[in-house]
Amino acid sequence: MAVSLLTRQVSDLCLGKPALKSLSISSTIGDALLALKRLGENFISIWNCDHHHYNLSAVDRGFKECQCVGKVCMVNIICFLCREENLSNPATALQTPLSVLIPKSPCLVRHVEPNASLLDAIDLIQEGAQNLVIPLESSSKTSSRKKLVQGTLSNISTLHNNNRQYCWLTQEDIIRYLLNSIGLFCPTAANPINSLDIIDTRNKMALHYDDPALSALPFISRSLEIQASVAIVDSDGKLVGEISPFTLNYCDEDVAAAIATLSAGDLLAYVDCGGPPEDLVQLVKKRLQERNLEQALELVEEYSSGASISTSYSSSSSDDEFGMGRSARWMGYSARVVRRSEAIVCYPWNSLVAVMIQALSRQVSYVWVVDHDGTLTGIVSFAGMMKVFRERSRTM
């Protein structure tokens, strides 16, 4: 039964999923920032074709095929703005072509045919894929919502290849699907995770509480690639919090200034729910002044005074429709999670199914593993969980 489950077509997991909102690779980083905020998306897909002319075929536009070449999120933009040369002139940095944020390796996003099996999808994830791009069944009717999006954001589209639409299939989608049929994988799913060889110690990226937050940048970029996080530990190696892509995706671009000026521990407080404490905002401003980063200082002052986006990317009357603005992003998250920087933990003796439920309930793709005294020992990811189900299917 479990084998037949994993041979199901990936299109079965795409029922009811929304069409991808997309930007062309020729767009700027500022275009991506505006789209993420207005659409309220965590990620936006990037394509090698110009969606201003979505009614033309890819061949007519000079491309062999219209394909998704990557994805961009707030974390990409924040990390880009953290560079010294960009922090000194954020407005100019946002005019940079979007292509600089797209990894040269195409493995993070892969196109998959609807009739591919779930086993094929899991194999691609084991090879490093985060998102699978699946064609949706064509529809002759265009919803009013889609018309609204395309009419309001002229460079955003869901249409490709003569009106064809696509959707994401994520690691979370697959784990939810497997959890719904968890009984087919007994007793494996009830086994403790330390007996399944899925506790990853190699990708246990950690910083000390007093380390500069800026030293986390390589770890943040890496954690975005492998869908993990950066642990913050005390002097005894005990886990006290985390800086995760999931957290930063609900922040605004002014967080780049905080990363560039605060310690890792102070950054935890800065990104926690309810907005940054005033004393930390003032500390960030002071340190920006000391480094003569006047434009970054202006950016922080805009947000601390209640602005929702930099003046060079002013909002339209439809911003409320798309959930744009700092307050909407913070309040939307705090309704679901008590604290942003609080890490999700489990113990080596917890069962696989319990860890799956933990991760899904908090909408993250990993869980930290700690000993009985809170010492960090490793991390368990969705990819590791899928490996167990993949190997279990081979023995059935």
pLDDT digits over 258-288, tens only? 999 999 999 999 988 667 889 999 999 999 9
d(CA 159, CA 151): 13
Helix (H, G, I), strand (E, B), or coil: what is residue 140? coil
Asked if residue 381 has pLDDT above 60, the reply is yes
Q: What is the pLDDT of residue 101?
A: 94
Closest CA to 49 of 34, 33, 67: 67
pLDDT digits over 121-136, tens only? 999 998 889 899 999 8
Poorest-pLDDT segment among 159-168, 289-298, 387-396: 159-168
Go through 221-255 and write b for each residue having 16 or more CB atoms within 10 A of its CB, e for each that does not.
eebbebbbbbbbbeeebebbbbbbbbbbbbbbbbb
Asked if residue 327 has pLDDT above 50, the reply is no
Asked if residue 194 has pLDDT above 90, the reply is yes
> Greatest CA span in the chain, whole angstroms?
65
Phi and psi of 199, rounded to 5°? Answer: -80, 110
- The β-bridge partners of 131 are 109, 170
Instruction: Give residues with Cβ within 8 angstroms of 267, minimum separation 6.
Output: 213, 216, 243, 258, 259
pLDDT digits over 83-128, tens only? 989 999 999 999 999 999 998 766 789 999 999 999 999 999 988 8
| Domains 14-56+63-138+157-169 and 193-304+341-395 are alike in CATH topology | yes
Poorest-pLDDT segment among 7-21, 45-59, 207-221: 45-59
- The β-bridge partners of 243 are 230
Go through 102-141 and write b for each residue having 16 or more CB atoms within 10 A of its CB, e for each that does not.
beeeeebbbebeeebebbbbbebbeeebbbbbbbbeeeee
From the options 2.40.440.10, 3.10.580.10, 3.40.50.80, 3.20.20.60, give the CATH code of 193-304+341-395: 3.10.580.10
Q: What is the pLDDT of residue 64?
A: 57
Q: What is the pLDDT of residue 164?
A: 79
Average predicted confidence (pLDDT) for the chain: 82
Instruction: Give residues with Cβ within 8 angstroms of 56, minimum separation 6.
Output: none
Burial of 67 (0-12, 13-18, 19+ CB in 10 A): middle
Rounded mean pLDDT of 214-230?
A: 92
At 176, the pLDDT band (50, 70, 90 cuts) reads very high
Closest CA to 241 of 266, 277, 215, 212: 266
At 160, the pLDDT band (50, 70, 90 cuts) reads low
Asked if residue 332 has pLDDT above 60, the reply is no
d(CA 158, CA 249): 22
β-pairing, 68-73 vs 376-381, is: unpaired
Phi and psi of 86, rounded to 5°? Answer: -85, -35
Rounded mean pLDDT of 186-198?
A: 92
| Residue 309: alpha-carbon gap to chain centroid | 20
Asked if residue 108 lies in contact with residue 70, where contact means CB atoms within 8 angstroms, the answer is: yes
Burial of 377 (0-12, 13-18, 19+ CB in 10 A): middle
At 137, the pLDDT band (50, 70, 90 cuts) reads confident
Percentage of residues in the chain having pLDDT higher than 70 = 78
Q: What is the pLDDT of residue 186?
A: 82
At 314, the pLDDT band (50, 70, 90 cuts) reads very low
Asked if residue 134 lies in contact with residue 11, where contact means CB atoms within 8 angstroms, the answer is: yes
Domain ranges of the chain: 14-56+63-138+157-169, 193-304+341-395
β-pairing, 345-346 vs 131-135, is: unpaired
* DSSP-assigned letter for residue 76: H
More confidently predicted of 159 and 190? 190
Q: How many residues does the chain have?
A: 396
Which CATH fold would you assign to the domain 14-56+63-138+157-169?
CBS-domain (3.10.580)
